[in-house]
Amino acid sequence: MLPFGLPLTAEGLLQLPATKTISRRLSDMRGYYADAEAYAARLAAEDSLIYTFWETEYTGDTRGLSFGITEIVPGTVGREFHMTKGHFHASDGDEIYLTLKGRGKLLLQTRQGEARTYDMTPGGICYIPTGWGHRTVNVGAEPFIFVSIWPPHIVHDYESVQKYGFPQLMLQGDSGPVEAPNPRYQAG
Amino acid sequence: MLPFGLPLTAEGLLQLPATKTISRRLSDMRGYYADAEAYAARLAAEDSLIYTFWETEYTGDTRGLSFGITEIVPGTVGREFHMTKGHFHASDGDEIYLTLKGRGKLLLQTRQGEARTYDMTPGGICYIPTGWGHRTVNVGAEPFIFVSIWPPHIVHDYESVQKYGFPQLMLQGDSGPVEAPNPRYQAG
């Protein structure tokens, strides 16, 4: 990585030749939302964009820093807010999130079933230690955008989350987001 | 490090028990400013605060992330803008800066004398690879605040910068900041 100074936006990061753009549509999220009927009905109507991330994975030695931006489109599937798939780090490596825009939640879980939830609002920092599976959720009416920074060469484990989800669901309540237990959840 | 979610402010970081507060006053910056007379005159009047940083050095293995906030008070010593001392990383380790508030510049140099300067404005990211000595400068009229993130256990080398400075000086011009060569500079 060379030195650089850029706007911390998708357009800024795309000036770096190594930046990859990854989009997740509704069809990529099969099995992730609790309400399977609502999922099928929405997918039949349109394969909507749920989130996009732009990332530059550092490919040198282990003392660089990888980084990216995630943008989650506002909306729900049934009552469940749009969210990322979520993953564990299968290798050691902590991660930092900094919220840029919108209103989100960070869901964390350990493999033993401990769960924590943090607010993500602009100007906030979240620290995700190795061992905590993490998912982000847009609980606002606008796009929710945050930065991630992580040490290079982390191995991502998406499978455990795909199978069991998170202990907590983040649902649209009558006056804002409410957390509910996930009936499908099992500790990995 | 445990998981946490906090405001990315001095008050937020001070909720973490390991956070250290370090202040640099004018008297700590002897020899750093180009105009020695202006320095002595200002110091005789008042030992002003130049900058403060709040940092949490990660003390675990090498796969965590250290982070901090720096706030540089606006002002000049002679025509030279308030700045950090600046340092090299004597061990491997890259660093990321994210600007939160105000208007700054990032000065970079290699030990061979190559120099680069980047704007630091809110919503911007700068990447500082190993081998590039770095200093930040407040070129605005308001406090300049940014976040740093770096891999743990970096060894800092302040000595080279203290001796030779940076190739470039950042000075108050008639209509904004201007860069000038540093007459005292020698490649380390």
Is 90 exceeded by the pLDDT of residue B110?
A: yes
- Check residue A79 and give its pLDDT: 98
N- to C-terminal Cα distance for chain A? 37
- pLDDT band (50, 70, 90) for residue A187: confident
State pLDDT tens for residues B49-64: 999 999 999 998 889 9
Is 70 exceeded by the pLDDT of residue A188?
A: no
- pLDDT band (50, 70, 90) for residue A19: very high
State pLDDT tens for residues B123-150: 999 999 999 999 999 999 999 999 999 9
Is 70 exceeded by the pLDDT of residue B188?
A: no
CA distance A95 to B16: 17
In a domain, A74, yes or no: yes
Q: Tell me, what DSSP letter sits at residue B82?
A: P
Across chain B, mean pLDDT equals 96
- pLDDT band (50, 70, 90) for residue A186: confident
Where does residue B139 rank: exposed (0-12), middle (13-18), buried (19+ CB within 10 A)? buried
> How many other C-beta atoms are found inside a 10 Å radius of the C-beta of residue A152?
19
Range of the domain at B50: 10-181
Q: CATH no. for residue A76?
A: 2.60.120.10
* Cβ-based contacts of B125 with chain A (< 8 Å): 5-8, 12, 67, 147
Contact A8 B123 (CB under 8 A): yes
Contact A98 B93 (CB under 8 A): no
State pLDDT tens for residues A155-184: 999 998 999 899 999 999 999 999 999 998
CA distance A79 to B68: 38
Q: Which amino acid, one-letter code, is at A110?
A: T
- Check residue A61 and give its pLDDT: 87
In a domain, B78, yes or no: yes
Going by DSSP bridges, is the β-strand pair B49-56/B66-72 parallel, antiparallel, or unpaired? antiparallel
State pLDDT tens for residues A42-89: 999 999 999 999 999 999 988 999 999 999 999 999 999 999 999 999
Number of domains forming the structure of chain B: 1
In a domain, B188, yes or no: no
CA distance A179 to A170: 5
- Check residue A45 and give its pLDDT: 97
Q: Which residues face A33 on adjacent strands? A: none
Tell me the nearest-neighbour CA distance from B65 into chain A, angstroms.
7
Q: Tell me, what DSSP letter sits at residue A29?
A: G
Q: Which amino acid, one-letter code, is at B121?
A: T
> How many other C-beta atoms are found inside a 10 Å radius of the C-beta of residue A24?
20
* Cβ-based contacts of A95 with chain B (< 8 Å): 65
In a domain, B186, yes or no: no
Residues A8-24 have a mean pLDDT of 97
State pLDDT tens for residues A121-163: 999 999 999 999 999 999 999 999 999 999 999 999 999 899 9
Closest CA to B122 of A127, A155, A143, A9: A9
In a domain, B3, yes or no: no
In a domain, B4, yes or no: no
In a domain, A99, yes or no: yes
Residue with structure tokens 């930046």?
A19
In a domain, B5, yes or no: no
Q: Which residue from A6, A61, A123 is facing B92, i.e. has the nearest CB?
A: A61
- Check residue B90 and give its pLDDT: 92
